[in-house]
Chains A and B, each alone.
Chain A
Amino acid sequence: MTETATAPAPARDRDYAEYGLCGFLALTGLVILLDAARLSNNTTGVDPLGPKPVPLLVGGALVVLAVALAVAVARGSRGEAEAGEDIDLHSRADYKTVLLLIGVFIANILLIDLLGWVISGGLLFYGSAIVLGSRHFVRDLVIAAALSLGTFYGFAIGLGVALPAGILQGIL
């Protein structure tokens, strides 16, 4: 029959990482305030408010909220990490995989203009699949190539979407 509510993600008395979040929010708020301060607020008849107020408001709000959150965290508030069908919150977070994925992503950013979408995107798919655990090395390569060629021909050439050809310019 239906299970009663499963326990939420492992409860820590205080999630110290949340203070990091507060710090980030406060920092962002300050950056916005500083950036807004250097704006010249020429108000005109057409624009009585000027470009300054909203950034000041948002920046200020972020700082206030950061403090409020810090207080809340100190009193035990815990952000509920988002659950989902593919999510298993009961085990430790696997940051290695995430960092590897980000690495593969950055590789794509660096290579895409040089090597073109077909190669770079294909590598992105292949790398990601492997990082995520797939072990069919040859099959994945084939799928990656098919996807990148398919999307290039279909979208870039077919629909005119802007995708770089890179090194393969002229061959495709």
Chain B
Amino acid sequence: MTIVVGFTPTAAGRAALLAAAEEATRRQMPVVVVNSSRGDALSDPGFAQPADLDWVRSTLTDAGVSFTVRQEVRGREASEEVLDVLNESNARLCVIGIRQRSAVGKMLLGSNAFRILMGAPCPVLAIKAHADG
């Protein structure tokens, strides 16, 4: 039984991680942090750099939560990677971050978020980034 969090080095991603840490403490479950990139471009803002991963680890350690970090670069969409982990690791909860969208954008979720919502075998907690980032 685990909590899976889809992490990106963005305000939404960080908010999701903090929420996941809170849930993990409450439910006494380990956390699996998933970050990925298709690897198509040399620069991908969604890809967690070592400094970002360090922040993840220290945050989770401070919260007293046990965790694993999984980072994949193999040409698959982020939603695919997260769904895979959800199915593999008997997840009880999936936490993802969603970002603020424009008035029109509010009508549509990001495609990754949407696919995770639709495909997850467990409840999904969607966290919006704080207004102050």
Q: Do chains A and B touch in the complex (CB under 8 A)?
A: yes
Q: Give chain A's interface residues, CB within 8 Å of chain B.
A: 85, 133-135
B40 lies within 8 A of chain A by Cβ: yes
Report chain B residues within 8 Å CB of A133. Answer: 38, 40, 75
Residue on B with the closest CB to A85?
B42
Query: What's the nearest-Cβ distance from chain B to residue A132, in Å?
Result: 9
| A-B CB pair tally, cutoff 8 Å | 6
Residue on A with the closest CB to B111?
A136
Number of interface residues of B (CB under 8 A): 5
Name A's interface SS. Answer: loop
Complex Cα–Cα for A135 and B40 (A):
11
Report chain B residues within 8 Å CB of A134. Answer: 40
Residue on B with the closest CB to A133?
B75
Residue on A with the closest CB to B77?
A135
Complex Cα–Cα for A134 and B75 (A):
9
Query: What's the nearest-Cβ distance from chain A to residue B116, in Å?
Result: 17
Query: What's the nearest-Cβ distance from chain A to residue B44, in Å?
Result: 14
Query: What's the nearest-Cβ distance from chain B to residue A106, in Å?
Result: 25
Interface residues of B in 29-51 (CB under 8 A from A): 38, 40, 42
Report chain A residues within 8 Å CB of B77. Answer: 135
Give per-residue flags for B75-119: 1 if the beta carbon is below 8 A from chain A beta carbons, else 0: 101000000000000000000000000000000000000000000
Give per-residue flags for B46-76: 1 if the beta carbon is below 8 A from chain A beta carbons, else 0: 0000000000000000000000000000010
Report chain A residues within 8 Å CB of B40. Answer: 133-134
Report chain A residues within 8 Å CB of B75. Answer: 133
Complex Cα–Cα for A63 and B119 (A):
62
Complex Cα–Cα for A85 and B40 (A):
13
Query: What's the nearest-Cβ distance from chain A to residue B27, in Å?
Result: 36
Nearest 6 CB-CB pairings of A with B = A133-B75, A133-B40, A134-B40, A85-B42, A135-B77, A133-B38
